[in-house]
């Protein structure tokens, strides 16, 4: 007895489900189909129709159901290939969607009017594939469950201060007309969904909103009511009301509430469907969508201007550049009036409505060709009601997309911005020694796979680096020193939607930096302007270095001379070399073997600080000491030493050599000893130097390979320089270096 009763119950549930399905009341049909499937999980027809019903609420489940139905019963319906194409398109399977649409097309007769619709659907899938494969760097964010529900939320309207959101909902909290009890379905539309109501929510912070408040009563009528725009300093509101197929109304704020809506005049509203509108900031022009002027009732965008009496004048079309044979809706203008945003089912849409923009052509006095705003602003489903925030930095839109709460949700659209990544590079050995001179290259891609690359080198004194990178992606960070790769690390940069985001990131690498390691052993020595005489405190430090070298006979050092930028590059190379030589000669006289030391001049090319103040210039007039390690050799432990070492060694070069590490800028230079000297640099430049007996006057002449010349005379702190470039241009500089 139980078996026939169960079958009878299933047939009744299936009958009820099919009844709602045929009325296109899909939400009501789903529970009955699910009851059938709970008892008969392989009921192909129930699976197929439930899948179609789910397409408005759960795209992935819709795909599972329709595909399972076709597998169980390949000819479950004549149009199964059509629905497989539709559900594949919504789930981003564009190639498969095209195949299903083409398969369905072969089943239709040559003159079947559905062939035209199929051709458009196939084109949608082709468009969607192009847009999806060339995405924009845009961050789409759901407003969250306080605003969005399992039902449809759309038509976002934001106040001028960005603190109040008005929107439209078909959720369970709507009032609509009549009561909500089970006998009087006054708040339920013919499709089984609740009527639309207008709500408002106050902003708590950037991501949070207070519980929405219904603006029912005066604003909400017997059918659908939807928010459109607030204007005149938020004192007036444009809204849609389901009256005479749909018309545009306005209401005024009175205290904390709104007055009864009034309909715009007959130049705007008609017996056809009017959907959405936008009034310009000056209040003189209204753009609106209407079905009045099309043969088949599809929407086009028109505009009207205020007449002398203050009411709206005759409507004029935006023209065929904007309007298509399909629906064109939801007009919105940027604050400057030069960019039109709108939704369309035509043009090169990805499917359903897409957001487009058009720029005003002031020369041709017309709107330019619309541009699809691309993925991820647009999706294979409906994307509508694009509205900019008050400052234009981001936008709101309504969209039904995977990952939402149900039907249409309200989202924010932010262009992904740059973020500042900064920090230091440390030696992994002790996690506290910073490594200057490390090159960091951040390599990544834009959303469309275009390569990105950002670079910086850690600073000489602090080991700091800073790069300004496009946020919201993972970078491969190549860490190298002296042209040799140390390692490559992966670093994910979080999404930033403003240009002031700072991310602190330190890198710890398996590298021993000789400059850093010897910093506590060998201090820098400094010089007066244009001098290379050793100061008393420099003598003290050189004695310390001598003691350490004697106590550590296996250590060899590079002595590196630097200058500020007051003189010419050629002159500073010479001066830097003489500063290095001064330290070299002192250490040699103190007993350090000359084969353990090399000298190099960087002139002004490696400043320790910007040359923008006397204090910073003093930091640049220096000699640094760096331990030289052979390739593969690790940093040795230092003995403090007491000056009893032998001072001998086996590696290095003579004291006048300028060799150094592989990427050092080395020059062969002449010492500034009293008298005359000549030298030829590696690039072919000839240098003549004349120094007087007490070295207080120095004259340097250079002649380059391309006949460029310079003459610099330094005396008692004054520099007098003349330069003639290869192209004949001449420069004279005379300055007091003190």
Share of residues in the chain with pLDDT > 90 (%): 61
Band of pLDDT at residue 444, cut at 50, 70 and 90: very high
Strand partners, 359: 339
In the predicted model, what is the mean pLDDT of residues 680-697? Answer: 63
Q: What are the tens digits of pLDDT across the range 314-353? A: 999 999 999 999 999 999 999 999 999 999 999 999 999 9
- The token pair at 443 is 């390599």
CA atoms within 13 A on the CB side of 337: 12
Q: What are the tens digits of pLDDT across the range 208-255? A: 999 999 887 778 777 888 999 999 999 999 999 988 889 999 999 887
Q: What are the tens digits of pLDDT across the range 522-531? A: 889 999 999 9
- The token pair at 51 is 């899948």
The H or E element spanning position 257 is: strand 257-258
Asked whether the beta carbons of 395 and 410 are under 8 A apart, the reply is no
Q: What are the tens digits of pLDDT across the range 37-66? A: 999 999 999 999 999 999 988 999 999 999
Strands (E), 416-552: 418-427, 438-445, 451-457, 464-470, 473-481, 484-493, 502-504, 507-509, 525-526
Q: Which domains does the chain have, with CATH numbers?
A: 2-133 (1.25.40.10), 139-175+192-415 (2.120.10.30), 418-509 (2.60.40.1120), 525-628 (3.30.1330.60)
Q: Under the phi-then-psi rule, with left for phi > 0, alpha for psi from -120 to 50, and beta for the rest, what region is 483?
A: left
- The token pair at 199 is 């709500």
Instruction: Give Cα 633 distance to the centre of its chain.
Output: 43
Instruction: Give Cα 208 distance to the centre of its chain.
Output: 23
| The pLDDT of residue 697 is above 90 | no
Length of the chain: 738
Asked whether the beta carbons of 327 and 298 are under 8 A apart, the reply is yes
SS3 of 556, please? strand
| Dihedral of alpha carbons 279, 141, 160, 197, sign | positive
The better pLDDT of the pair 628, 593 is held by 593
pTM of the model: 0.69
Band of pLDDT at residue 698, cut at 50, 70 and 90: low
């Amino acid at each position: 007895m139980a078996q026939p009763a169960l079958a009878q119950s299933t047939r009744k549930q299936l009958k009820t489900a099919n009844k709602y399905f045929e009325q296109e009341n899909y939400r009501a049909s789903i529970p009955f189909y699910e009851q059938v499937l709970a008892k008969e999980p392989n009921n192909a027809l129930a699976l197929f129709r439930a899948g179609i019903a789910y397409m408005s609420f759960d795209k992935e489940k819709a795909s599972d159901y329709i595909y399972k139905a076709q597998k169980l019963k390949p000819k479950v319906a004549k149009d199964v290939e059509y629905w497989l194409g539709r559900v594949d398109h919504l789930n981003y399977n564009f190639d498969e969607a095209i195949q299903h649409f083409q398969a369905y097309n072969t089943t239709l007769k040559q003159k079947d009017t559905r062939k035209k619709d199929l051709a458009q659907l196939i084109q949608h899938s082709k468009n969607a594939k192009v847009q999806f494969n060339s995405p924009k760097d845009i961050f789409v964010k759901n407003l969250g469950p306080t605003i969005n529900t399992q039902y449809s939320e759309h038509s976002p309207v934001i106040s001028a201060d960005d603190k109040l959101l008005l929107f439209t909902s078909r959720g369970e909290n709507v009032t609509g007309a009549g009561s909500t009890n089970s006998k009087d379905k006054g708040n339920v539309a013919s499709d089984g969904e609740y009527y639309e109501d207008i709500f408002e929510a106050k902003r708590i912070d950037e991501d949070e909103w207070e519980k929405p408040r219904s603006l029912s009563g005066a604003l909400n009528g017997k059918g659908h009511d939807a928010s459109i725009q607030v204007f005149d300093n938020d004192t007036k509101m444009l809204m849609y009301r389901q009256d005479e197929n749909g018309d545009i109304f306005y209401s005024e704020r009175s205290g904390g509430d709104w007055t009864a809506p009034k309909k715009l005049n007959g130049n705007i509203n008609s017996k056809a469907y009017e959907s959405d509108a936008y009034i310009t900031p000056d209040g003189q022009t209204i753009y609106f969508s209407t079905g009045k002027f099309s043969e088949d009732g599809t929407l086009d965008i028109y505009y009207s201007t205020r007449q002398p009496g203050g009411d709206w004048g005759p409507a004029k079309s935006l023209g065929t550049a904007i309007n298509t044979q399909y629906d064109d809706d939801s007009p919105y203008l940027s604050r400057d009036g030069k960019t039109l945003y709108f939704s369309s089912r035509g043009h090169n849409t990805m499917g359903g409505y897409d957001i487009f923009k058009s720029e005003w052509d002031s020369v041709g006095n017309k709107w330019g060709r619309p541009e699809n705003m691309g993925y991820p602003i647009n999706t294979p489903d409906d994307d509508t009601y694009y509205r900019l925030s008050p400052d234009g930095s981001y936008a709101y839109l309504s969209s039904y997309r995977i990952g939402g709460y149900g039907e249409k949700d309200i989202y924010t659209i932010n262009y992904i911005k740059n973020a500042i990544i900064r920090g230091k590079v440390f030696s992994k050995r002790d996690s506290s020694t910073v490594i200057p001179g490390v090159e960091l290259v951040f390599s990544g891609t834009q959303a469309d796979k275009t390569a990105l690359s950002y670079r910086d080198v850690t600073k000489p004194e602090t080991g700091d680096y800073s790069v300004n990178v496009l946020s919201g992606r993972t970078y491969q960070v190549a860490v190298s020193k002296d042209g040799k790769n140390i390692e490559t690390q992966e670093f994910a940069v979080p999404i930033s939607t403003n240009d002031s985001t700072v991310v602190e990131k330190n890198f710890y690498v398996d590298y021993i930096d000789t400059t850093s390691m010897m910093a506590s052993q060998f201090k820098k020595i400094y010089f007066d302007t244009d001098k290379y005489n050793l100061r008393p405190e420099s003598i003290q430090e050189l004695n310390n270095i001598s003691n350490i070298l004697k106590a550590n006979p296996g250590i060899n050092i590079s002595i590196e001379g630097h200058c500020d930028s007051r003189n010419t590059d050629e002159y500073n190379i010479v001066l830097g070399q003489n500063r290095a030589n001064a330290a070299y000669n002192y250490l040699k006289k103190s007993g350090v073997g000359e084969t353990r030391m090399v000298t190099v001049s960087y002139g002004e090319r490696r400043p320790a600080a910007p040359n923008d103040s006397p204090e910073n210039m003093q930091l640049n007039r220096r000699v640094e000491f760096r331990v030289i390690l052979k390739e593969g050799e690790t940093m040795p432990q230092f003995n403090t030493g007491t000056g009893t070492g032998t001072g001998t060694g086996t590696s290095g070069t003579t004291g006048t050599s300028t060799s150094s590490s592989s990427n050092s800028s080395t020059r062969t230079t002449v010492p500034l000893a009293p008298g005359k000297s000549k030298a030829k640099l590696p690039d072919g430049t000839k240098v003549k130097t004349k120094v007087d007996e007490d070295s207080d006057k120095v004259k340097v002449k250079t002649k380059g390979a391309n006949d460029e010349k310079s003459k610099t005379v330094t005396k008692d702190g004054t520099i007098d320089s003349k330069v003639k470039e290869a192209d004949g241009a001449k420069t004279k500089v005379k300055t007091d270096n003190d």
